[in-house]
């Protein structure tokens, strides 16, 4: 899971089984729901550049 790589926040749309994995690790990774995939990419880039 992404938490093992130090990921603490994920941005995206629900689907393709990702939600089950994130639900099981919700204490480690926060999921931010977006309405557009491109918005998720911008948010992740901005988050990554601040860390």
Tell me the residue range of the domain where 17 lies.
2-50
5-22 pLDDT, tens digit per residue, is 888 888 988 877 778 877
Per the structure, the count of domains in the chain is 1
The overall pTM is greater than 0.85: no
31-47 pLDDT, tens digit per residue, is 898 999 999 999 999 98
Do residues 8 and 30 lie in contact, with contact meaning Cβ atoms separated by under 8 Å?
yes
The residue assigned the tokens 């639900």 is: 23
Residue 20 vs residue 1, higher pLDDT: 20
**Cα end-to-end span (Å), the chain:** 20
């Amino acid at each position: 899971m992404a938490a093992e790589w130090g990921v603490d926040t994920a941005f995206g749309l629900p689907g393709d089984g990702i939600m089950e994995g994130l639900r099981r690790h919700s204490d480690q990774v926060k999921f931010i729901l977006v309405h557009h995939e491109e918005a998720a990419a911008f948010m992740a880039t901005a988050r990554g550049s601040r860390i």
